[in-house]
Amino acid sequence: VAPTQTKVSPMQITAYPGDLREIECSVMAARPAVKITWTLNGRDITSDAQDNEIANTHDGTFMAVSTLHKVFNQEDNGQNLVCAISHPTFSEPDVTIVPISVYFSPVQKHVHTFYQVPLNSHYEIIISFSASPQPTGLVWSFGSNFQEMTNHIQVPIDNGKFSTSLIIHDNGNYQ
């Protein structure tokens, strides 16, 4: 008997780093029982799931539920979680893809310190960071001065030094 009423819940995952989520993949009836596997970005994580199989004594079919308990992290953002159901009546597994969104504050990818930048010279500084969701706005700040992101900004110097940092605001802006 081919599997009936396959279901995955939820169909998309939104989490913050460290959040534990429970995802279910189920089949109402099949004979013989189905095999349910889980992958995250192509890596088998089936061992993180608990399987429950119940035999129906009236018609000999099996109901199967696989519950995955997964802690999502920043690296999981944009990845796909896959529940695959295998059964002898299928030529290939029945696959359901669950997209993952993990929200995290900006993280600077490379930290550089620049020394001996000559006064009144042009110097290119590239700051690369990742964040989810994408920031709604970016501004540079030096002391109490704010400037919108443009191709070039004038950097005020205090005692021959300047510094900047990335700060998150409640309105979704980063500075």
Band of residue 163 on the pLDDT scale cut at 50, 70, 90: very low
Taking residues 12-26, report their average pLDDT: 96
Which comes out higher in pLDDT, residue 163 or 138?
138
What pLDDT does residue 83 have?
Answer: 98
Record the pTM.
Answer: 0.70
Does the structure show a pLDDT above 70 at 69? yes
Taking residues 79-90, report their average pLDDT: 97
Q: Is domain 7-102 classified as CATH 2.60.40.10?
A: yes
Q: Pick the range with the lowest mean pLDDT from 1-5, 95-99, 102-106.
A: 102-106
Does the structure show a pLDDT above 70 at 112? no
Q: What is the mean pLDDT of the chain?
A: 81
The domain limits of the chain are 7-102, 105-175
What pLDDT does residue 161 have?
Answer: 47
What pLDDT does residue 152 have?
Answer: 47
What pLDDT does residue 130 have?
Answer: 73
What pLDDT does residue 85 have?
Answer: 97
Q: How far apart are CA 60 and CA 105, in angstroms?
A: 51
Please list, residue by residue across 124-148, b when 16 or more beta carbons sit within 10 angstroms of its beta carbon and e when fewer do.
Answer: eeeeeeebbeebeeeebebeeeeee
Cα 21 to its chain centre, rounded Å, is 12
What pLDDT does residue 57 have?
Answer: 78
CB-based burial of residue 86 (10 Å sphere; 0-12 exposed, 13-18 middle, 19+ buried)?
middle
Does the structure show a pLDDT above 90 at 93? yes
Please say whether the beta carbons of 85 and 27 come within 8 A.
yes
